[in-house]
Structure 1
């Protein structure tokens, strides 16, 4: 990938990043990460001597989001990543790398004395890790540089740090100083999608179509807004429910949300000859309604029977064989039973917010529809809502855990297999994942 010289807000943010803490936040693809990388590489060459660290939500995401672009910029001779050792060598300087996926990650940096640090996806870190990192930046002149996408307005990073920044380069490009009674030595740089002049108009327009609702406000406009109301507010029965299916070129997956007292729900996802995804059929067992709970062995028998004997709507097919069986990751015993019965499965990617974003993008781009026979799933979608109480309590973005079993099954089937179907869709758009 060719990286062009920084211009506009990106260039200005590098010039202004002189505080102890410097954070680039806002829209996706807005040039905030590239600007922060340029500044970090300069700091690695010219900053005070001592240990440096780079931290992401996970080391894998840090490599994908930041280290790989750095290697592309300066070459693998000047930027060499040693994954097994947890080290990056940049311009001959050793940098420790780590993930901050939970509170236990604090142990990874305890005892370190740092001259500088870089952070990716800061808003997803535990606050305890952030607080500990600040105590480690003890070399005179030490600075921090990092990036994040917006979350809810009560997120700890916004409430305790960004809102108290000494200097703010705002979404509209104006610079303001803090009105807080207790400002912190932090410079904040806020980006919208339109701040990147190097993106083609067609690509920008495609992203604006793809992200809707909450995700449009956060990932396009760069706003810290709460998750509230219906999650799939872009869902329209006229657009997304079908009575007829095209020829299915690939039966991609069966997604299963396992329940014993709660409903057990399975759906089948196919890729159509029209280069769209289709949820074609469902099977559900609600033990409360049926007044009988099934064992894992009985669930396995019933699901395998359903796969092989029930007609596929509008076809002559008696059953299908999906390429993947994707199961609720908490249902370990059921997965063992399936394996004993000859059906291999894999645990679902249960990262909820990215999974919701994938489904939202597919609905927004008209790349996913649901057959009208999936009546239970279609009943759930309109009532699938954000948990306002969780957002108010601790800034957490999460759905209300009520009547969501079909939605979870659809999310498992779709989001977990995104590397399989993404390049085959007709839009040519990189669907959010």
Structure 2
């Protein structure tokens, strides 16, 4: 049997395989020309399987991703998202050797992996543009009913065209979440795989994790978990279990530490994507897109709140406990103290609008009680309230409570 890569220069079906581009577990990819009546019709990329002698049923199974992606492209209504997905034109089985083939849009450019290897750290503005395009494409897939999960998102599967626009490629592991529970073991590239995906439970949040690793690597030139090296004497399963446990305890260093073009907002987005537990990440890529494109009212200067890794999980867990207690504590000093604690936790998690609401309720409690008789404590509460409104972008309320604070300081009620 002829090795797949040696088919370069031959005509397979209606395709002239002009240039071998690379190969993987499935087969080889060729820059090709689609022929019609023996004449060139258009430039395409053809993916040809290593396996030959396939039956029609085996070919359909092997090319399942093509059918999933083609179906998704028909159902996606977001034209902008479609620009960043590679279109599938044709699929089938060659004669007489019976290889599976896939003909798709040819993108002339380089992979994001090659760009990172060549350039190292990328400017945060450029990386954000590409991440926004990736999130837009993935988000459209995630919001389908049922959603489609890529499962192998990594820099090597992102092509930067000569138009500087992103295209997602290689949906060979794409799956619908309800089907992923039937997958034996994990699927994807281990360095970019979410912990739950390693056990075959991929969801849209698993792609979010992979996107976080991709963004981190693009911004820093390094992998967020590079220092986690399991003992060499463990089995493959043991090493996977060791890595999952280590990642759960590991606090990822903010990308801005290695790249001074990274903003606090981008730090927070990347770190939330990398959360160990799926429930603590963005639900899907559409939420990542919303976060990347939403204007942040929070100033970039000032100390960075502990929103990464284990400290953030502790803050969120404590906030849940405080909010549960608030639901059953209706009045008095206990509620006042819970409101203050809730506001502090919300502020540390950059949820300043909610923090302002908690502080405002606490302040209103003082107006009809003797909870805060000391002027210094009243001034402090009003200062916190004005600052919370300022950080949430509500300058009107910030000015209002700053004026009340000044009145308190001057002895006027």
Q: TM-score, structure 2 length as denominator?
A: 0.26
Q: TM-score, structure 1 length as denominator?
A: 0.25
Q: RCO greater where, 1 or 2, for CA within 8 Å and sep 6 or more? A: 1
Could you say which structure has the higher helix fraction?
2
Q: Which has the larger radius of gyration?
A: 2
